[in-house]
Structure formats: C-alpha cells, structure tokens
Amino acid sequence: MIDKIIGQLSYDSAAPMLFGSGLFLFVFTAFLIVYLLLRRNTVARLVYVAAFSLYFYYKSSGLWFALLIVTATSDFLIGELLQRSTSDLGRKALVVLSLGVNLGMLAYFKYYNFLVDMVWGLAGEAGRLFGIRALAELAPLHYDIFLPVGVSFFTFQSVSYIIDLYRRRITPVGRWIDYLFYVSFFPQLVAGPIVRARDFIPQIRRRPELSREEFGEGLFLIVCGLLKKGVISDYISLNFVDRIFDAPTLYTGLENLIGVYGYALQIYCDFSGYSDMAIGIALLLGFRFNINFDAPYCSATITEFWRRWHISLSSWLKDYLYISLGGNRRGRLRTYVNLMITMLLGGLWHGASFRFILWGGLHGVSLAVHKWAMSRFPGAFKADGSQMPLWRKLAGILLTFHLVCLGWIFFRAPSAGIGFDVLKQIFTAFHPEILLQFIGGYPTVSLLMLAGFLFHFMPRRLDLSLRSLLTRSPLIVQAFILVAVIFILVQMKSAGVQPFIYFQF
C-alpha cells in the first residue's frame, strides 16, 4: 500500500500531473487545507507554496525542477546587482548576462538539434557543390535532449522581470523566497499565462482573502476549463482531428476542412481551458491573473485576433521584442520588418521546426498587410470589429477565422508536406455531398464541435449571466455542479493521459 502511494507521488514521465486528473484533485485538496491554516503566517505560507510548486513541477519534469531553482536564483542575484549598479554599461551587461542564461538554456533544450541539422545540412550542400568529400559526408550530432515542461514560459517570465528592472518600472523583490514563489507559482507554471512581475509580486505578501464572488468566479473558471479540455478538446482530438492530420489523403476535402475547424476548436479549448483553470485556481488562493483569451475567433481583423489570443504571450512579444526593435517609431518599412521579425520569432518560440516558422511568417505578413491597409485606406480598414458596420464585421470575422485556420494547418501538421496535402484535398476532392454521412458517422464529434463553437460565439452578457448565476448559487449547488462535471470527465476519459498541447512549448 505504501509502495503504491509512493509510486503515485513519484515522477512518472507517462503520467504527468494534470489539473483535470484525480491525483491533482486529491493532492490539491490536501494542499489547500494546509494553505488555509498558514494564510496568516506570511513566511511559512510562501515557503509552503514554493515547495508545493516545485513538487508540482517535479511531477511534470522529474529532477529538472532543479532547473527552475537555478533560473530563479540566477535572475534574483542579477536583479539585485542591477538595482545597485549605477553604470549604464554595467546595467546593460547584467541584462545581457540574464538573457544569455535564459535564452541559452532555451537554445540548448529546444533548438540544439534543429540548429545542428540546419548547419550540417548547409555544410553538406556546400561539400557536394564544391566537391569537398569531408563536408558532404558530415553526419549530424544528434542528442536525445529532454525538454522540461513549461521551460519557455518560466524563462520568459523571468526575462520580463530583469528587463522591467532595467527599465526602472519595478524594484527588486528583496527576498529570494519571494522571487522563487513568483517564478514557480504552480497554477501558471507549466503552460502560462505568462505573469508580469509588476502585476504579481505586489500580491505575494498580501494576506490571501477570498470573497463569495471570487470563489464563485474561480469555480466557474475551473468548471469551464475542465469542460473545454476534458470533454471537447480531448474527445474531438482523439476521435477525429488526429486521424485527419495523420493521413489527410485518406479523407475527402470536406472531412479535411472539418478537421481543420476541429483543430481550431481543439487548440482553443485546450489552451484556454488550461488558462481558465490556472486563473481559477490562483483566484481560490487569493491571486488574480489577467485574462489570457478573449473569444479570439470573434475577431474581425488579424490585429484584433492577436489582441484576443494568448494575450500574455502576444503582449510580451509586443513589449519586450517588437518595441525593443523600434516598434512603429522608425517609419513604415521598419514597422513591417519589426512585425515580421516578432512573429517569426514568436513562431520559433513554439518549437524548433520550419512549420512553426511558416506559421509565424503567415501571421507576420498578415499583420503587416493589415497595418499597411489601415494607413493607406483609413476609412475602409479598422483595427477591430467594434469600429465596423455589422455586415463588414461579420465578413471580417469569417475572413480572419479562415486565415487563422490556414495557419493552424501548418501549426498542427507533422510536416509542411502533410499540411499541403490537407490543402490539396480541400481544393481538389471536396465532395460536399457526404456531409450528412459524416454527421451520421461522427455524431458525438459533430455535436461537441457545434456546442464548442456556439459557446465560443456566445454573447458576453450571457457568459457574465452564467458566471453570476453560479456565483450566487448555494454552496451545495456549486458542489453538485463540480461533482457532475467530474462525473462527465470520468465517463469520457480516454485510456491514456492527454497532456495539454502547450506542455510541449
């Protein structure tokens, strides 16, 4: 019995701890009881939460939780030195040091094999071109490198702290445990949202308080996140979307198109579901995060889409990359170049593959074209749908959604070639006459996709009404709803663990 408990609490690469799992529910309940007992003792509470966060990360990445401690310690010390430095050159050197540590770590874990492949490939081509046998026969030095879960998120979070210190927008935390708490806080540790130091650190030493409204809001977000991830995303992925992208040529163009729509819904429900749960759990602990998704497929322009999709990342790229490159302050041409660089690097942030670069390039070109159109035809092109007549807004939503879906094809496809196979099927073998046959063959998938998109396009006032209704409900009703959702998840649970899509980033 004891061995079984120890096995459950130990790291298992095949079963990482997920918010929707029974193990997390059990462990979090035990954690919450002690947390409530410690809420008046600030230091004990900080140490306890930091220790639990490290354990949570250990359950996701094993002994690589030490990497998180190294990151936190490195940037805490650099931040202290940055505050004391009076030399502008010295301050810049410290920022470069922090970037070198954080981005160097990312480069090794995420991009080593990709960069080696590229360099060795170019060297081989040069060898064949110039008849240099030694170069032509070079073999890539591949390593089996483990990618720690969430490394892109906590490194970006730590980088933002150092840059904000350099820009004198914040002051250092002063205590190592405070900074470790900030970097490792478990609700948003492995898949965001990316929380800014200036938003989060002032909340650390404040005694956690939870009003009835905040409890209801947190529960509502957790329930929504569980339904999005555990019911909609996982089911349509395993039972339809994965099949399409594994072998698109075996299906008609209509099925491929529905598969693309399905992936658009899947990645939204998966990622926004995680964000909902992270924000809800943090709220139950007395911490408030900013919203990370705001009905992105309701966007009437590509610019508006990036104001609504993965807001913490898009705002990070804007504040720390796009503006650092010059933003729109150096002329139109430089603005378009800055947009392209930002989105190409944003695509590369998602993974070491040319398909992610292609995805980022598509969005970079789209943003540049939209910005050019707004400057050239200010009366016809607007930044978002709130400034448009209804007919133009609807047309914009339709166009933007399909542009985003085009990008999702290459984001999801195992290779660019398979992505083009999906497009080929859609344009050359559509066969709309099989629609009813498809619905009959995939009734649950069809129903969940319809429900998912209906909820996504649901008016905001209705969403607020449902949230208010749950908040005002008696505790027994709230408990019943949570139990009912867990029951639904158990009934629809697949045989294997379905990690969140953004765990790989």
Over residues 331-361, the pLDDT tens digits come to 788 888 899 999 998 888 887 788 889 999 9
Q: What are the tens digits of pLDDT across the range 247-272?
A: 999 999 999 999 999 999 999 998 99
Q: What is the pLDDT of residue 261?
A: 97
Mean pLDDT along residues 447-458? 92
Ordered DSSP codes for 138-174: -----------TTHHHHHHHHHHHHHHHHTTSS---S
DSSP code of 427?
Answer: H
Count of C-beta atoms within a 10 Å radius of residue 6:
9
Q: Return the percentage of the chain with pLDDT > 90, whole number.
A: 35
Three-state DSSP string of 297-361: HHCCCHHHHHHHCCHHHHHHHHHHHHCCCCCCCCCHHHHHHHHHHHHHHHHHHHCCCHHHHHHHH
Q: Which residue has the tokens 């007919």?
A: 391
Query: Who contacts 456 (Cβ-Cβ below 8 Å, separation ≥6)?
Result: 265, 268, 295, 297, 298
Q: How confident is the model at residue 196 (pLDDT cuts 50, 70, 90)?
A: confident
pLDDT at residue 132, rounded to an integer: 63
What is the reported pLDDT for 495? Answer: 47
- Tokens standing for residue 407: 């990008």
Q: Tell if the pTM clears 0.75, that is, is over it.
A: yes
State residue 327's pLDDT score. Answer: 78
456 is catalytic: no
- 425 pLDDT band, cuts 50/70/90, is very high
Tens digit of pLDDT for each residue in 269-291? 989 998 999 999 999 998 999 88
Instruction: Return the closest-CA partner of residue 303 out of 388, 360, 387, 384.
Output: 384
Query: What is the token pair recorded at 500?
Result: 């969140």
How many Å separate Cα 70 from the centre of its chain? 23
pLDDT band at 497 (very low <50, low <70, confident <90, very high): low
Instruction: Give me the pLDDT at residue 140, please.
Output: 63
Q: Is the pLDDT of residue 443 over 90?
A: yes
Q: Of these residues, 142, 310, 350, 402, which one is catalytic?
A: 350
Residue-wise pLDDT for 73-101, tens only, equals 999 999 999 988 888 888 899 999 999 98
